[in-house]
Amino acid sequence: MLSVVGIGPGSLDLMTERAKERITSADVIMGNERYIELIEKIIPESAEVIIGKMGTEVERAKKAVELGKHKNVVLISGGDAGIYGMAGLIIEVIGYTEKETKLEIIPGITAAFASAALLGAPLSNDFAVVSLSDLLVPWNEIEKKLAGLAKIDIVVVIYNPMSKTRKVQLEYAHQVFMKYRDRKTLVGIVKNAEREGCEIEITSLEELPDFYHRIDMSTTIIIGCSRTKKLRGLMVTRRGYERKYNYGGVEARHMSNPVHEPGDYVEAGSRIWELSKAIVGDIVSKYPGPLSENEKRVAERVVFANADPSFLNLLVFKHNPVEAGIQCIKDGKIIITDIEMVKAGISKKYRDRVMCFLNAPKSTETARKEGLTKTAAGIRLAKELICNNIVVIGNAPSACEELCTLVESGIKPDLAVITPVGFVNASETKEKILSMDVPCIAIKGSRGGTPSAVAIINAIIEIAHQ
């Protein structure tokens, strides 16, 4: 029987029970010197120990397969034997030569996982692993993988970063990541994880070169992504819970993001967005009254668009309007707006379903004839379309007044978003539509405007498209 055993990063208590059992009952134990040393204490006296050197792996693999025909042979690898370890080679050798040897592969804790746990939880989201060793893989292949990964926002674990003679690879990797990633991206460095001489550092991409003199073949480097943060000295890549749930204060959710500096472009934008979301989330959690998850998202968008917490006290939801709006968007229903600016602000995804009649050929004439404002005339002209669709009034109280008239005559939209501004009749007309049997989201009082209207409808469009 040949057991290919991953012994974990170093500490015996991080080795699996099964691995220990195989080692303690082995006839032959094979491995390189460093790994044999790590398990010395549990090697049985009766076992023959065959120490291999770096670069003699194929020979060792063949020998292990041969001996495994009649004896219990344990071939050890550091970490996990299947990750840049001996397991793959053994299977290849058996595949080509010998089929009698019984084979088992016993997993171990790989360096990435041991290092991640010491740093915190940097691998909580998607990640990739790359070895910088070009002893077996041509450098141009490694280079391509690094460039591809640096461009996408994913955590990258680097094995074999540097040896005494091999230094340029890490320098190259660093340059590629500096080119595509925020230079404040967090980087974790773990040397001798779970072994004597363990060192743990959390730094930034731009400062990584300061640590080159401490990096060697027993070091694993974890390059974070834009979702990787530092909290209480620990590195953590956010899985996304903060998008759905409120927990802790703003500071806890924001965590200590790298400081924004000019030139950070996209990453800086996303950091500001994350922080804003956290602040707005806290504000909205104080809404007077219960809110559904979707209503909360609409409220957050309104507060965010205006950067004004007082909007929260003016925001009203009547007759389950958010759910009604989501259904309308899913059904591809039309949106009528009072002015072009509201139309222009609506998400591109849906803008081809938006109509505004303010500048329709007949609006001036209708306004003059009927004694209406032009915006009110625009709503009247849309009257055939308003029933069972969405109306968004972001500017003119007179347009809202006209909508009230239409509702009184039995023309009811499925959702009315009502945020017109003004000192004359804005407040009153909003109260009027809110007293009617129409699903309505409104900003009460004299305030509101296009930003609020657009924030509300875009939040609904976003939810509907998820």
Q: Tell me: does residue 77 bind ligand SAH (CB under 6 A).
A: yes
Edge to edge, the sheet with strand 48-52 lists 48-52, 28-32, 73-77, 2-6, 103-106
Cβ proximity to ligand SAH: between 107 and 325 the closer is: 107
Judge whether 395 and 341 are in contact, CB under 8 Å. Answer: yes
61 binds ligand SAH (CB under 6 A): no
CA of residue 50 relative to chain centroid, distance: 47
195 contributes a contact to ligand SAH by CB under 6 A = yes
Residue type, 361: P
Task: Measure Cα distances from 241 to 179, 185, 257, 318 in Å.
Answer: 30, 21, 17, 29
Q: Which is nearer to ligand SAH, 160 or 169 (CB)?
A: 160
* CA dist., res. 332 & res. 178, Å (int): 44
298 touching ligand SAH, by CB under 6 A: no
9 near ligand SAH, rule: CB under 6 A: yes
| Least separation in angstroms between CB 38 and ligand SAH | 9
One-character DSSP codes across 104-167 = EEE----HHHHHHHHHEETTSS-EEEEE---SSS-HHHHHHHHHHHHHSS-EEEEES---SS--
For ligand SAH, the closer of residues 77 and 363 by Cβ is 77
d(CA 156, CA 279): 30
- Report the candidate in 173, 106, 159 with the shortest Cα–Cα distance to residue 131: 159
Query: Looking at beta carbons only, is 78 or 281 nearer to ligand SAH?
Result: 78
One of 31, 52, 68, 79 touching ligand SAH (CB under 6 A): 79
Nearer to ligand SAH, 218 or 337 (CB): 218
Confirm or reject binding of residue 192 to ligand SAH (CB under 6 A): yes
Residues 91-110 that bind ligand SAH (CB under 6 A): 110
88 token code pair: 């793959």
Q: Is 80 a residue that touches ligand SAH (CB under 6 A)? A: yes
Q: Which of 403, 425, 422 is nearest to 412 (CA)?
A: 403
Measured from the CB atom, the residue of 208 and 463 that comes closer to ligand SAH is: 208
Q: Which phi and psi (to 5°) does residue 53 adopt?
A: -110, 160
Contacts of 96 (CB under 8 A, 6+ apart): none
Q: How far is the CB of 69 from ligand SAH (least distance, A)?
A: 26
Q: Which stretch binds ligand SAH (CB under 6 A): 153-161, 181-189, 383-391, 450-458?
A: 153-161
Window 245 to 284, contacts with ligand SAH (CB under 6 A):
none
Select the residue interacting with ligand SAH from 220, 226, 419, 452 (CB under 6 A): 220
Using the minimum distance from each CB to ligand SAH, give the nearer residue, 193 or 406: 193
3-state secondary structure of 49: strand
Helix (H, G, I), strand (E, B) or coil at 450: helix
Residue from the set 10, 325, 378, 451 that interacts with ligand SAH by CB under 6 A: 10
Nearer to ligand SAH (CB atom), residue 80 or residue 242: 80
Helix (H, G, I), strand (E, B) or coil at 221: strand
Q: Considering only residues 31, 52, 68, 78, which one is a binding residue for ligand SAH as defined by CB under 6 A? A: 78
Q: Is 337 in the site for ligand SAH (CB under 6 A)?
A: no
CB of 254 to ligand SAH, least distance (A): 30
- By CB under 6 A, residue 218 contacts ligand SAH: yes
For ligand SAH, the binding residues (CB under 6 A) are 9-10, 77-80, 83-85, 110-111, 115, 159-161, 190, 192-195, 217-220
